[in-house]
């Protein structure tokens, strides 16, 4: 949900300053090898952690005269990472620091949520290709970490489903308005985590949220149904987007882990849920949430994802909604599948007709009759305060806007909230104006009055028309659901690379549908999120990388049941090397933000748009082992204690081998040159595994980035059996003159054999 970000961010700042005043929650990482003597072999970590907490409590009490709050253990972590979360003061921390095996204590922090036709857009349809009975075996479990779930929704019914897979060890936790009978053979597990949140933000207000896995925000219900919701015929929102709604792997099981509450999701809760999900037996983890980018050793999601990947769990995360600005991509650790967002060809067009006869195209989910040609109010002509331009609550003057269409700038408050303000003030309609940064991106929202969003250039036209005439007028008409627009187009809000914490890997990895996605919705939340809106719907349309991430989680589940022996890295490779970069009209995928170039590049879509059908049979895969990831961390000079966070203390960087970040067996190439590196060259090594045809011969094809000469050795790979691994080297030579720092050029390297095209993007950046 794009508009929630600002609200959640403000909440975060206020809460944080209170928390700093006294105790706060820390996530404590422990080197397992150093404490093994003090924990009894098969025991859980909990008794040990409790004794540590008791120890620092006593120690600090002896020293202190004044009364201080006792430390409090919140969680112990043993599966995805090793350590615990506890509420501690600075003094307690000092004692903890002296502990044998202590690695680090990271202050807890809030992440924010990032927010069906898409199966069809992805080439999935019943009885064809991937959606055939054998591929839809219901043995895969997708764990969704989000705002919970609305279990009664028709998308989570379990009619005809086989018994729950035997590897499942999770539970259906009871709580407010949630009982164990709310789970079934589709929704096989549900848990809620709020110890970290309550320590951070105070007690959960039970009039606005449930102390249980039940969803009070809608986000978790929407994402879970996108990944694995059942098939529901004749789904729509007010008749819009009518069709069969279905999760991408609609036969997968869902385990809902509620970690997000009204102001966000704390890392300590997210870690507890990931730890539990992995030991519960999930096969795929889907996280549509994140923080600002930070080094992997300081990034809880990166650390827990490493542990999950090591146990064979595929982790997909949203890239974030902080685009179109560069280097905003979050969740960018190489073992995570980082998902960007783009549009499908389905739109909800509107037509705005100005008094001068000009006609502009917009978008809305409002369904009603066309408005009359009405006077337009904007800024000063809508209210005396400056806030009137943004239609902030209480800013519009009813005398000035009564019966008129009000033009409102995007930003500050929610898009549907602006409409609410216009309606409350007596306005008859609203036009939502994009700034240059929003580009031509059109959000379809469930407005409570006749309203439409307009792109940046149409918005400019409207502003200058309003200024040029004394009595501006406009009308809005609503056209319904249309198909056939050029698609995909990269969303402006989708966070961009290059990654500032790991620039030697291209991030995001892929893009997937994340604009105007129809999916399941709780029956007690209005589609506009407004309290005053009494409409109730079964399906709602949302946009965000939160929506694109569960598409990829669903596809990963499909690949997982098809190829049971594939590692998370192999699934990721299949999705990346088969991604496409041309749109439905055969032209290169464009970028709606158009800041520099109208064309999208690997820093907006990674390897391209996911293609599940091709990914199921990729020909070759680039596999990566846990050791390879650790070697990568050595190559980027992480210290041994930083690496111990991930490896759990039993890994030493090789002193002998010269490790290069570029040698990690990643399915794409990020190449970094200094700006004055003339004739400099870098050589990377890769190993590909044959998963296609037993006997096959691949030839390399290269699209050279501007100013770079690429040579591949050997240029042919001949396989004689399945599972065979062959290696090659690729050399990038900077042939051009000096470059401006921060510029990039792009190309690709493709291994071709018959119908197989194993493509890796190349992004060269002059630093």
Residues forming contacts to ligand NAG in the complex (CB under 6 A) are 106-107, 205, 207-208, 234, 236, 294-295, 298, 636-637, 678-679
Catalytic residue among 31, 108, 146, 504: 146
Minimum distance from residue 168 beta carbon to ligand NAG (Å): 35
Give me the helix-helix angle, 267-280 and 300-310, nearest 10°: 10
Give me the helix-helix angle, 568-577 and 545-562, nearest 10°: 110
Q: State the alpha helices, DSSP H only, in 532-625.
A: 545-562, 568-577, 602-605, 612-615
Q: How far apart are CA 577 and CA 641, in angstroms?
A: 34
Q: How far apart are CA 465 and CA 160, in angstroms?
A: 59
Pairing, β 83-88 against β 24-30: antiparallel
Instruction: Please identify, using beta-carbon distances, which residue of 70 and 538 lies nearer to ligand NAG.
Output: 538
Q: Which of 48, 37, 142, 73 is nearest to 552 (CA)?
A: 142
DSSP string over 68-97: -PPPEEEEEE-SSSSEEEEEE-HHHHHHHH
Residue 219 catalytic?
Answer: yes
The dihedral through the CA atoms of 492, 498, 502, 508 has a sign that is positive
Minimum distance from residue 645 beta carbon to ligand NAG (Å): 11
Instruction: Please identify, using beta-carbon distances, which residue of 573 and 704 lies nearer to ligand NAG.
Output: 704
Residue 139 catalytic?
Answer: no
Instruction: Please identify, using beta-carbon distances, which residue of 722 and 738 lies nearer to ligand NAG.
Output: 738
Minimum distance from residue 710 beta carbon to ligand NAG (Å): 16
Q: Which of 612, 610, 575, 551 is nearest to 224 (CA)?
A: 551
Instruction: Please identify, using beta-carbon distances, which residue of 507 and 609 lies nearer to ligand NAG.
Output: 507
CB distance 445 to 421 below 8 Å: no
Minimum distance from residue 646 beta carbon to ligand NAG (Å): 14
Minimum distance from residue 253 beta carbon to ligand NAG (Å): 28
Instruction: Please identify, using beta-carbon distances, which residue of 276 and 291 lies nearer to ligand NAG.
Output: 291
Instruction: Please identify, using beta-carbon distances, which residue of 180 and 205 lies nearer to ligand NAG.
Output: 205
Instruction: Please identify, using beta-carbon distances, which residue of 678 and 720 lies nearer to ligand NAG.
Output: 678
* Token pair listed for 507: 């991030």
Give 709's strand partners: 733
Catalytic residue among 219, 222, 438, 447: 219
Residue 546 catalytic?
Answer: yes
Minimum distance from residue 410 beta carbon to ligand NAG (Å): 26
Minimum distance from residue 344 beta carbon to ligand NAG (Å): 21
Q: Which of 499, 680, 756 is nearest to 604 (CA)?
A: 499
Catalytic residue among 138, 155, 225, 546: 546
Q: How far apart are CA 580 and CA 614, in angstroms?
A: 10
Classify burial at 235, counting beta carbons within 10 Å of its beta carbon; exposed 0-12, middle 13-18, buried 19 or more: buried
Classify 25 as helix, strand or coil: strand
Q: How far apart are CA 482 and CA 2, in angstroms?
A: 23
Report how far apart the first and last C-alpha atoms of the chain are (Å, whole number).
Answer: 34
Residues taking part in catalysis? 146, 219, 546
């Amino acid at each position: 949900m794009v508009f929630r970000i600002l609200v959640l961010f403000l909440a975060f700042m206020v809460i944080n300053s209170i928390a700093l005043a006294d105790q706060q929650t820390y996530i404590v990482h422990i080197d397992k090898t150093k404490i093994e003597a003090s924990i009894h072999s098969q025991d859980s970590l909990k008794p040990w952690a409790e004794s540590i907490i008791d120890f620092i409590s006593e120690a600090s009490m002896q020293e202190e005269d004044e009364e201080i709050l006792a430390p409090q253990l919140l969680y112990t972590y043993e599966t995805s990472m090793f350590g615990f979360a506890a509420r501690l003061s600075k003094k307690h921390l000092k004692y903890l620091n002296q502990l044998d095996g202590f690695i680090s204590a990271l202050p807890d922090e809030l992440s924010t949520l990032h927010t069906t036709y898409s199966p069809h857009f992805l080439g999935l349809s019943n009885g064809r290709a991937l959606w055939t009975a054998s591929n839809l075996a219901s043995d895969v479990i997708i764990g969704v970490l989000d705002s919970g779930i609305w279990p009664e929704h028709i998308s989570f019914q379990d009619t005809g489903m086989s018994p729950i897979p035997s590897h499942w060890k999770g539970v259906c936790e009871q709580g407010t308005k949630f009982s164990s009978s709310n789970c079934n053979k589709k929704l096989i597990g549900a848990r809620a985590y709020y110890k970290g949140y309550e320590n951070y933000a105070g007690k959960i207000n039970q009039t606005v949220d449930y102390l249980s896995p039940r969803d009070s925000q809608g986000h978790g219900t929407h994402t879970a149904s996108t990944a694995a919701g059942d098939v529901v015929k004749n789904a729509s929102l007010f008749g819009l987007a009518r069709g069969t709604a279905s999760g991408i792997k609609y036969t997968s099981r869902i385990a809902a882990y509620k970690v997000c509450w009204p102001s966000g999701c704390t890392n300590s809760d997210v870690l507890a849920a990931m730890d539990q999900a992995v030991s519960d037996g999930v096969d795929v983890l889907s996280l549509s949430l994140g923080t600002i980018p930070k080094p992997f050793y300081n990034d809880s999601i990166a650390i827990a994802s490493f542990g999950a990947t090591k146990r064979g769990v595929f982790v997909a995360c949203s890239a974030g909604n902080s685009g179109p600005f560069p280097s905003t991509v979050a969740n960018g650790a190489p073992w995570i599948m980082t998902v960007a967002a783009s549009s499908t060809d389905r739109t909800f067009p509107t037509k705005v007709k100005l008094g001068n006869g000009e006609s502009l195209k917009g978008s809305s989910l409002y369904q009603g009759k066309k408005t009359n040609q009405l006077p337009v109010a904007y800024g000063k002509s809508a209210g005396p305060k400056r806030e009137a331009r943004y239609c902030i609550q209480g800013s519009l003057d009813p005398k000035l806007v009564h019966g008129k269409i009000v033009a409102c700038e995007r930003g500050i408050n929610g898009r549907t909230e602006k409409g609410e303000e216009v309606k409350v003030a007596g306005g008859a309609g609203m036009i939502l104006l994009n700034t240059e940064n929003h580009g031509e991106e059109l959000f379809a929202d469930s407005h409570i009055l006749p309203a439409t969003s307009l792109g940046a250039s149409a918005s400019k036209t409207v502003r200058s028309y309003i200024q040029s005439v004394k009595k501006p007028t406009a009308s809005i008409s609503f056209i319904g659901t249309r198909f056939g627009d050029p698609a995909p187009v990269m969303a402006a809000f989708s966070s961009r690379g290059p990654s500032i914490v790991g620039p030697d890997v291209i991030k995001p990895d892929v893009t997937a549908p994340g604009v105007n996605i129809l999916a399941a919705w709780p029956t007690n939340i209005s589609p506009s999120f407004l309290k005053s809106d009494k409409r109730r719907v079964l399906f709602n349309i949302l946009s965000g990388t939160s929506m694109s991430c569960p598409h990829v989680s669903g596809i990963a589940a499909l690949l997982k049941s098809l190829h049971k022996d594939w590692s998370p890295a192999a699934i990721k490779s299949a999705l990346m090397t088969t991604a496409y970069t041309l749109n439905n009209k055969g032209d290169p995928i464009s970028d709606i933000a158009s800041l520099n170039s109208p064309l999208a590049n690997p820093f907006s879509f990674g390897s391209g748009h996911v293609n599940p059908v091709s990914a199921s049979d990729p020909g070759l895969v680039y596999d990566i082992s846990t050791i390879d990831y650790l070697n990568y961390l050595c190559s980027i000079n992480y210290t041994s204690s930083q690496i111990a966070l991930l490896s759990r203390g039993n890994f030493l960087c090789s002193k002998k081998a010269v490790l290069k970040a570029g040698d990690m067996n990643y399915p794409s190439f990020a190449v970094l040159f200094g700006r004055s590196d003339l004739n400099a060259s870098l050589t990377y090594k890769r190993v590909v595994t044959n998963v296609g045809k037993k006997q096959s011969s691949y030839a390399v094809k290269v699209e050279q980035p501007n100013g770079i000469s690429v040579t591949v050795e050997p240029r042919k790979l001949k396989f004689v059996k399945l599972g065979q691994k062959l290696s090659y080297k690729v050399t990038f030579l900077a042939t051009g003159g000096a470059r401006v720092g921060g510029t990039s050029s792009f190309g690709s390297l493709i291994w071709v054999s018959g119908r197989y095209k194993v493509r890796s993007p190349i992004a060269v950046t002059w630093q």
